[in-house]
Structure 1
Amino acid sequence: MPYVFNALSLLIQVVFSAIATLFLFRLLAEANRADFHNPLSQFIYRYTNPVLAPVRRLLPNWRRINLAALLMVWLALLIERVLIDLLAGAMPFLPGLLIESLADLLDFVLLFYIVVIFIWSLLSMLSADPHQPLVRLAGTIVQPVLRPLRGKLVAGNIDFSPTVVVIVLLLARILLVAPIFDIGARLAQGG
Protein backbone atom coordinates (compact mmCIF):
# COMPACT_ATOMS: atom_id res chain seq x y z
CA MET A 1 0.00 0.00 0.00
CA PRO A 2 2.84 2.51 0.55
CA TYR A 3 3.53 2.22 -3.20
CA VAL A 4 0.07 3.55 -4.02
CA PHE A 5 0.45 6.31 -1.41
CA ASN A 6 3.84 7.30 -2.86
CA ALA A 7 2.48 7.30 -6.41
CA LEU A 8 -0.56 9.40 -5.50
CA SER A 9 1.60 11.77 -3.43
CA LEU A 10 3.91 12.22 -6.39
CA LEU A 11 1.00 13.03 -8.72
CA ILE A 12 -0.43 15.53 -6.22
CA GLN A 13 2.96 17.19 -5.81
CA VAL A 14 3.53 17.41 -9.57
CA VAL A 15 0.12 18.96 -10.27
CA PHE A 16 0.15 21.50 -7.45
CA SER A 17 3.82 22.37 -7.89
CA ALA A 18 3.14 23.08 -11.58
CA ILE A 19 0.25 25.36 -10.62
CA ALA A 20 2.35 27.11 -7.98
CA THR A 21 5.23 27.52 -10.45
CA LEU A 22 2.97 29.12 -13.04
CA PHE A 23 1.65 31.67 -10.54
CA LEU A 24 5.13 32.30 -9.11
CA PHE A 25 6.42 33.00 -12.61
CA ARG A 26 3.57 35.50 -13.01
CA LEU A 27 4.39 37.14 -9.69
CA LEU A 28 8.11 37.45 -10.42
CA ALA A 29 7.65 38.46 -14.06
CA GLU A 30 5.40 41.34 -13.00
CA ALA A 31 7.60 42.35 -10.09
CA ASN A 32 10.69 42.46 -12.31
CA ARG A 33 8.88 44.01 -15.29
CA ALA A 34 9.54 41.17 -17.70
CA ASP A 35 9.08 41.90 -21.40
CA PHE A 36 5.43 41.23 -22.20
CA HIS A 37 6.29 40.56 -25.84
CA ASN A 38 8.16 37.44 -24.74
CA PRO A 39 6.09 34.38 -25.77
CA LEU A 40 6.66 32.78 -22.35
CA SER A 41 5.37 35.90 -20.59
CA GLN A 42 2.30 35.87 -22.82
CA PHE A 43 1.73 32.16 -22.06
CA ILE A 44 1.98 32.78 -18.32
CA TYR A 45 -0.35 35.78 -18.53
CA ARG A 46 -2.91 33.92 -20.67
CA TYR A 47 -3.20 30.99 -18.27
CA THR A 48 -3.07 32.86 -14.97
CA ASN A 49 -5.21 35.88 -15.77
CA PRO A 50 -8.62 34.10 -15.67
CA VAL A 51 -7.92 33.15 -12.05
CA LEU A 52 -6.12 36.32 -11.00
CA ALA A 53 -8.47 38.91 -12.52
CA PRO A 54 -11.35 38.32 -10.07
CA VAL A 55 -9.01 37.91 -7.09
CA ARG A 56 -7.20 41.15 -7.93
CA ARG A 57 -10.47 43.05 -7.46
CA LEU A 58 -10.40 41.99 -3.80
CA LEU A 59 -6.63 41.90 -3.35
CA PRO A 60 -4.91 44.61 -5.42
CA ASN A 61 -1.19 44.84 -6.06
CA TRP A 62 1.10 46.24 -3.42
CA ARG A 63 3.72 48.27 -5.25
CA ARG A 64 4.84 45.85 -7.98
CA ILE A 65 3.93 42.73 -6.00
CA ASN A 66 0.93 40.84 -7.35
CA LEU A 67 -0.63 39.76 -4.04
CA ALA A 68 -3.29 37.72 -5.85
CA ALA A 69 -0.58 35.61 -7.53
CA LEU A 70 1.20 35.20 -4.19
CA LEU A 71 -2.08 34.06 -2.62
CA MET A 72 -2.57 31.52 -5.43
CA VAL A 73 0.93 30.10 -4.90
CA TRP A 74 0.26 29.76 -1.18
CA LEU A 75 -3.18 28.21 -1.75
CA ALA A 76 -1.78 25.67 -4.22
CA LEU A 77 0.85 24.61 -1.68
CA LEU A 78 -1.72 24.55 1.14
CA ILE A 79 -4.10 22.34 -0.86
CA GLU A 80 -1.20 20.06 -1.79
CA ARG A 81 -0.28 19.66 1.89
CA VAL A 82 -3.91 19.01 2.93
CA LEU A 83 -4.42 16.39 0.21
CA ILE A 84 -1.22 14.55 1.10
CA ASP A 85 -2.11 14.64 4.81
CA LEU A 86 -5.61 13.32 4.06
CA LEU A 87 -4.11 10.62 1.86
CA ALA A 88 -1.90 9.63 4.79
CA GLY A 89 -4.96 9.45 7.03
CA ALA A 90 -4.11 12.48 9.16
CA MET A 91 -5.66 15.89 9.50
CA PRO A 92 -3.35 18.36 11.25
CA PHE A 93 -4.55 21.19 13.45
CA LEU A 94 -5.22 24.37 11.49
CA PRO A 95 -2.54 26.63 13.09
CA GLY A 96 0.16 24.06 12.37
CA LEU A 97 -1.14 23.52 8.86
CA LEU A 98 -1.02 27.26 8.12
CA ILE A 99 2.53 27.59 9.45
CA GLU A 100 3.66 24.50 7.53
CA SER A 101 2.16 25.90 4.34
CA LEU A 102 3.94 29.23 4.99
CA ALA A 103 7.21 27.27 5.32
CA ASP A 104 6.30 25.44 2.11
CA LEU A 105 5.81 28.79 0.37
CA LEU A 106 9.17 30.15 1.50
CA ASP A 107 10.89 26.89 0.59
CA PHE A 108 9.20 26.82 -2.81
CA VAL A 109 10.32 30.37 -3.63
CA LEU A 110 13.90 29.65 -2.53
CA LEU A 111 14.03 26.39 -4.47
CA PHE A 112 12.49 28.13 -7.50
CA TYR A 113 15.27 30.73 -7.46
CA ILE A 114 17.93 28.05 -7.07
CA VAL A 115 16.62 26.20 -10.13
CA VAL A 116 16.16 29.34 -12.25
CA ILE A 117 19.66 30.63 -11.37
CA PHE A 118 21.12 27.23 -12.24
CA ILE A 119 19.28 27.09 -15.58
CA TRP A 120 20.18 30.69 -16.42
CA SER A 121 23.85 30.11 -15.52
CA LEU A 122 23.96 26.92 -17.56
CA LEU A 123 22.40 28.63 -20.57
CA SER A 124 24.82 31.55 -20.30
CA MET A 125 27.81 29.17 -20.13
CA LEU A 126 26.53 27.39 -23.23
CA SER A 127 26.29 30.75 -25.03
CA ALA A 128 22.57 30.41 -25.66
CA ASP A 129 20.92 33.04 -27.83
CA PRO A 130 20.21 35.98 -25.49
CA HIS A 131 17.01 36.69 -27.43
CA GLN A 132 15.64 33.20 -26.74
CA PRO A 133 12.43 33.58 -24.65
CA LEU A 134 13.54 31.31 -21.79
CA VAL A 135 16.92 33.05 -21.46
CA ARG A 136 15.27 36.50 -21.45
CA LEU A 137 12.64 35.57 -18.85
CA ALA A 138 15.12 33.75 -16.59
CA GLY A 139 17.55 36.65 -16.87
CA THR A 140 14.84 39.14 -15.92
CA ILE A 141 13.89 37.08 -12.87
CA VAL A 142 17.43 36.40 -11.56
CA GLN A 143 19.04 39.80 -12.22
CA PRO A 144 17.64 41.55 -9.10
CA VAL A 145 18.95 38.72 -6.91
CA LEU A 146 22.37 38.64 -8.57
CA ARG A 147 22.81 42.40 -9.01
CA PRO A 148 24.37 43.13 -5.56
CA LEU A 149 27.23 40.68 -6.23
CA ARG A 150 27.46 40.99 -10.01
CA GLY A 151 31.05 41.62 -11.15
CA LYS A 152 32.45 41.54 -7.60
CA LEU A 153 33.30 37.84 -7.50
CA VAL A 154 35.08 37.40 -10.82
CA ALA A 155 38.08 35.09 -11.21
CA GLY A 156 39.47 35.00 -14.72
CA ASN A 157 36.40 35.28 -16.93
CA ILE A 158 34.11 33.42 -14.53
CA ASP A 159 31.61 35.27 -12.36
CA PHE A 160 30.97 33.33 -9.17
CA SER A 161 28.06 35.50 -8.00
CA PRO A 162 25.44 32.89 -9.04
CA THR A 163 27.28 30.26 -6.99
CA VAL A 164 27.37 32.48 -3.90
CA VAL A 165 23.69 33.37 -4.27
CA VAL A 166 22.74 29.69 -4.58
CA ILE A 167 24.74 28.90 -1.42
CA VAL A 168 22.96 31.72 0.44
CA LEU A 169 19.58 30.41 -0.76
CA LEU A 170 20.48 26.87 0.36
CA LEU A 171 21.50 28.23 3.77
CA ALA A 172 18.20 30.13 4.00
CA ARG A 173 16.36 26.84 3.40
CA ILE A 174 18.28 25.25 6.27
CA LEU A 175 18.36 28.13 8.76
CA LEU A 176 15.03 29.86 8.02
CA VAL A 177 12.57 27.44 6.44
CA ALA A 178 13.43 24.30 8.43
CA PRO A 179 12.80 25.92 11.87
CA ILE A 180 9.48 27.38 10.67
CA PHE A 181 8.47 24.01 9.31
CA ASP A 182 9.42 22.33 12.63
CA ILE A 183 7.25 24.79 14.56
CA GLY A 184 4.37 24.12 12.19
CA ALA A 185 4.82 20.35 12.46
CA ARG A 186 4.68 20.52 16.27
CA LEU A 187 1.54 22.67 16.16
CA ALA A 188 -0.02 20.42 13.50
CA GLN A 189 0.34 17.45 15.84
CA GLY A 190 -1.27 19.39 18.64
CA GLY A 191 1.93 19.80 20.64
Structure 2
Amino acid sequence: MNYLTNAGGLIINFIFGAAVALFVLRLLAEAWRADFQNPICQFIYRYTNPVLRPLRKVLPNWRRLSTSALVVAWLIECLKVVLLIAIMGFIPNPVGVLVMGVAELLDFVLLLYIVLIVVWSLMSMLSTDRYHPVARLVTSITEPLLRPLRGRMVLGGLDFSPAVVLLLLTLVRLLVAQPLSDIGQRLMLGL
Protein backbone atom coordinates (compact mmCIF):
# COMPACT_ATOMS: atom_id res chain seq x y z
CA MET A 1 0.00 0.00 0.00
CA ASN A 2 1.22 3.46 -0.71
CA TYR A 3 0.79 6.50 1.49
CA LEU A 4 -2.17 7.86 -0.45
CA THR A 5 -4.03 4.55 -0.07
CA ASN A 6 -3.36 4.58 3.68
CA ALA A 7 -4.66 8.14 3.95
CA GLY A 8 -7.74 7.26 1.90
CA GLY A 9 -8.38 4.23 4.10
CA LEU A 10 -8.11 6.37 7.22
CA ILE A 11 -10.59 8.92 5.88
CA ILE A 12 -13.03 6.20 4.79
CA ASN A 13 -12.80 4.46 8.17
CA PHE A 14 -13.36 7.75 10.02
CA ILE A 15 -16.36 8.92 7.97
CA PHE A 16 -18.09 5.55 7.82
CA GLY A 17 -17.24 4.84 11.48
CA ALA A 18 -18.99 8.05 12.52
CA ALA A 19 -22.07 7.14 10.46
CA VAL A 20 -22.17 3.61 11.87
CA ALA A 21 -21.75 4.98 15.40
CA LEU A 22 -24.75 7.23 14.93
CA PHE A 23 -27.02 4.38 13.81
CA VAL A 24 -25.68 1.88 16.36
CA LEU A 25 -26.21 4.39 19.16
CA ARG A 26 -29.76 4.90 17.87
CA LEU A 27 -30.26 1.14 17.89
CA LEU A 28 -28.92 0.77 21.44
CA ALA A 29 -30.75 3.84 22.76
CA GLU A 30 -34.06 2.48 21.50
CA ALA A 31 -33.35 -1.08 22.62
CA TRP A 32 -32.46 -0.08 26.18
CA ARG A 33 -35.03 2.73 26.44
CA ALA A 34 -32.63 5.63 26.88
CA ASP A 35 -34.21 8.87 28.04
CA PHE A 36 -35.54 10.70 24.99
CA GLN A 37 -35.24 14.05 26.80
CA ASN A 38 -31.46 13.58 26.87
CA PRO A 39 -29.89 16.13 24.45
CA ILE A 40 -27.52 13.49 23.08
CA CYS A 41 -30.44 11.16 22.32
CA GLN A 42 -32.30 14.01 20.67
CA PHE A 43 -29.25 14.70 18.48
CA ILE A 44 -29.05 11.01 17.51
CA TYR A 45 -32.78 10.81 16.77
CA ARG A 46 -32.77 14.08 14.80
CA TYR A 47 -30.01 12.98 12.43
CA THR A 48 -31.09 9.37 11.97
CA ASN A 49 -34.83 9.95 11.54
CA PRO A 50 -34.66 11.14 7.90
CA VAL A 51 -33.12 7.81 6.94
CA LEU A 52 -35.00 5.53 9.33
CA ARG A 53 -38.52 6.92 9.08
CA PRO A 54 -39.17 5.71 5.49
CA LEU A 55 -37.44 2.38 6.20
CA ARG A 56 -39.65 1.67 9.22
CA LYS A 57 -42.57 1.15 6.84
CA VAL A 58 -40.68 -1.74 5.25
CA LEU A 59 -38.63 -2.89 8.27
CA PRO A 60 -40.69 -2.52 11.44
CA ASN A 61 -39.16 -2.87 14.89
CA TRP A 62 -38.83 -6.36 16.27
CA ARG A 63 -39.66 -6.13 19.96
CA ARG A 64 -37.43 -3.23 21.03
CA LEU A 65 -34.86 -3.74 18.28
CA SER A 66 -34.84 -1.21 15.47
CA THR A 67 -34.30 -3.46 12.46
CA SER A 68 -34.09 -0.45 10.16
CA ALA A 69 -31.18 1.05 12.16
CA LEU A 70 -29.48 -2.36 12.18
CA VAL A 71 -29.85 -2.77 8.41
CA VAL A 72 -28.61 0.78 7.73
CA ALA A 73 -25.56 0.26 9.96
CA TRP A 74 -24.83 -3.05 8.20
CA LEU A 75 -25.18 -1.47 4.74
CA ILE A 76 -22.83 1.35 5.76
CA GLU A 77 -20.29 -1.25 6.88
CA CYS A 78 -20.68 -3.13 3.58
CA LEU A 79 -20.15 0.08 1.60
CA LYS A 80 -17.08 0.87 3.70
CA VAL A 81 -15.64 -2.57 2.95
CA VAL A 82 -16.28 -2.14 -0.79
CA LEU A 83 -14.56 1.26 -0.81
CA LEU A 84 -11.57 0.00 1.18
CA ILE A 85 -11.10 -2.94 -1.18
CA ALA A 86 -11.61 -0.71 -4.23
CA ILE A 87 -8.87 1.73 -3.24
CA MET A 88 -6.51 -1.25 -2.99
CA GLY A 89 -7.38 -2.18 -6.57
CA PHE A 90 -9.43 -5.33 -6.00
CA ILE A 91 -12.92 -6.25 -7.10
CA PRO A 92 -14.62 -7.91 -4.14
CA ASN A 93 -16.96 -10.90 -4.20
CA PRO A 94 -20.45 -9.69 -3.11
CA VAL A 95 -21.00 -12.61 -0.71
CA GLY A 96 -17.71 -11.82 1.00
CA VAL A 97 -18.70 -8.17 1.30
CA LEU A 98 -21.98 -9.13 3.01
CA VAL A 99 -20.16 -11.41 5.47
CA MET A 100 -17.49 -8.76 6.10
CA GLY A 101 -20.24 -6.21 6.74
CA VAL A 102 -21.70 -8.46 9.45
CA ALA A 103 -18.24 -9.07 10.95
CA GLU A 104 -17.35 -5.38 10.92
CA LEU A 105 -20.68 -4.38 12.48
CA LEU A 106 -20.40 -7.03 15.19
CA ASP A 107 -16.85 -5.96 15.97
CA PHE A 108 -17.92 -2.30 16.05
CA VAL A 109 -20.75 -2.99 18.51
CA LEU A 110 -18.49 -5.07 20.76
CA LEU A 111 -15.76 -2.43 20.71
CA LEU A 112 -18.31 0.31 21.37
CA TYR A 113 -19.56 -1.60 24.41
CA ILE A 114 -15.98 -2.06 25.64
CA VAL A 115 -15.36 1.68 25.38
CA LEU A 116 -18.70 2.55 27.02
CA ILE A 117 -18.06 0.21 29.96
CA VAL A 118 -14.61 1.71 30.49
CA VAL A 119 -16.16 5.20 30.38
CA TRP A 120 -18.90 4.09 32.80
CA SER A 121 -16.28 2.67 35.18
CA LEU A 122 -14.24 5.86 35.07
CA MET A 123 -17.32 7.99 35.66
CA SER A 124 -18.32 5.89 38.66
CA MET A 125 -14.80 6.11 40.14
CA LEU A 126 -14.59 9.85 39.61
CA SER A 127 -18.11 10.37 41.00
CA THR A 128 -19.33 12.52 38.14
CA ASP A 129 -22.80 14.01 37.98
CA ARG A 130 -25.27 11.14 37.43
CA TYR A 131 -27.64 13.49 35.62
CA HIS A 132 -25.15 14.66 33.02
CA PRO A 133 -26.44 13.71 29.53
CA VAL A 134 -23.36 11.59 28.74
CA ALA A 135 -23.57 9.77 32.08
CA ARG A 136 -27.28 9.05 31.60
CA LEU A 137 -26.81 7.69 28.08
CA VAL A 138 -23.76 5.58 28.96
CA THR A 139 -25.52 4.18 32.02
CA SER A 140 -28.70 3.30 30.13
CA ILE A 141 -26.72 1.49 27.41
CA THR A 142 -24.26 -0.38 29.67
CA GLU A 143 -26.62 -1.22 32.53
CA PRO A 144 -28.28 -4.23 30.81
CA LEU A 145 -24.89 -5.92 30.40
CA LEU A 146 -23.64 -5.09 33.89
CA ARG A 147 -26.83 -5.76 35.87
CA PRO A 148 -26.73 -9.60 35.79
CA LEU A 149 -23.27 -9.67 37.40
CA ARG A 150 -23.50 -6.63 39.63
CA GLY A 151 -22.89 -7.51 43.27
CA ARG A 152 -21.87 -11.09 42.46
CA MET A 153 -18.23 -10.33 41.69
CA VAL A 154 -17.37 -8.32 44.81
CA LEU A 155 -13.94 -8.81 46.32
CA GLY A 156 -12.65 -6.60 49.10
CA GLY A 157 -15.42 -4.07 48.61
CA LEU A 158 -14.71 -3.70 44.88
CA ASP A 159 -17.18 -4.83 42.25
CA PHE A 160 -15.34 -6.61 39.44
CA SER A 161 -18.43 -7.12 37.27
CA PRO A 162 -17.28 -4.50 34.70
CA ALA A 163 -13.94 -6.32 34.37
CA VAL A 164 -15.70 -9.65 33.82
CA VAL A 165 -18.02 -8.13 31.20
CA LEU A 166 -15.01 -6.53 29.46
CA LEU A 167 -13.27 -9.92 29.42
CA LEU A 168 -16.36 -11.60 27.95
CA LEU A 169 -16.77 -8.91 25.28
CA THR A 170 -13.10 -9.24 24.32
CA LEU A 171 -13.45 -13.03 24.08
CA VAL A 172 -16.47 -12.64 21.79
CA ARG A 173 -14.42 -10.29 19.61
CA LEU A 174 -11.61 -12.85 19.42
CA LEU A 175 -13.69 -16.00 19.07
CA VAL A 176 -16.65 -14.80 16.97
CA ALA A 177 -15.99 -11.48 15.23
CA GLN A 178 -12.42 -12.20 14.14
CA PRO A 179 -13.11 -15.66 12.63
CA LEU A 180 -16.18 -14.23 10.87
CA SER A 181 -13.99 -11.45 9.49
CA ASP A 182 -11.42 -14.00 8.29
CA ILE A 183 -14.15 -15.99 6.51
CA GLY A 184 -15.46 -12.79 4.92
CA GLN A 185 -11.99 -11.80 3.72
CA ARG A 186 -11.40 -15.19 2.16
CA LEU A 187 -14.81 -15.09 0.43
CA MET A 188 -14.35 -11.51 -0.67
CA LEU A 189 -10.93 -12.03 -2.21
CA GLY A 190 -11.75 -15.47 -3.59
CA LEU A 191 -9.08 -17.30 -1.61
* Both structures adopt the same fold (TM-score exceeding 0.5): yes
**What is aligned with 2:53?**
53
> Structure 1, unaligned stretches of length 5 or more?
none
CA deviation profile, 1:63-107 (whole Å, cap 9, x unmatched)? 000001001111111111111111110111111111111111111
CA-based RMSD: 1.0
Deviations along 1:131-177, one digit per CA (max 9) or x if unpaired, are 00000000000011111101111123321111110111111111111
Residue 152 of structure 2: aligned partner: 152
- 2:120 maps to what in 1? 120
Secondary structure at 1:62 match in 2: coil
Q: List 4+ stretches of structure 1 deviating above 6 A.
A: none
After superposition, what is the alpha-carbon deviation per residue over 1:91-131, rounded to whole angstroms, capped at 9, x for unaligned? 11111111111111111111110011111111111111000
Alignment map for 1:62-141 (pairs within 5 Å): 62-141=62-141
Where structure 2 has 5 or more consecutive residues not aligned to the other structure, the ranges are none
With the length of structure 1 as denominator, give the TM-score of the two structures: 0.97
Map residues 148-187 of structure 1 onto 2, 5 A cutoff: 148-187=148-187
What is the match of residue 16 of structure 1?
16
> Secondary structure in 2 aligned to 1:185?
helix
CA–CA separation in structure 1 for the residues paired with 2:128 and 2:161: 19
Query: Residue 120 of structure 1: SS of its match in structure 2?
Result: helix
What code does the residue aligned with 2:40 have? L
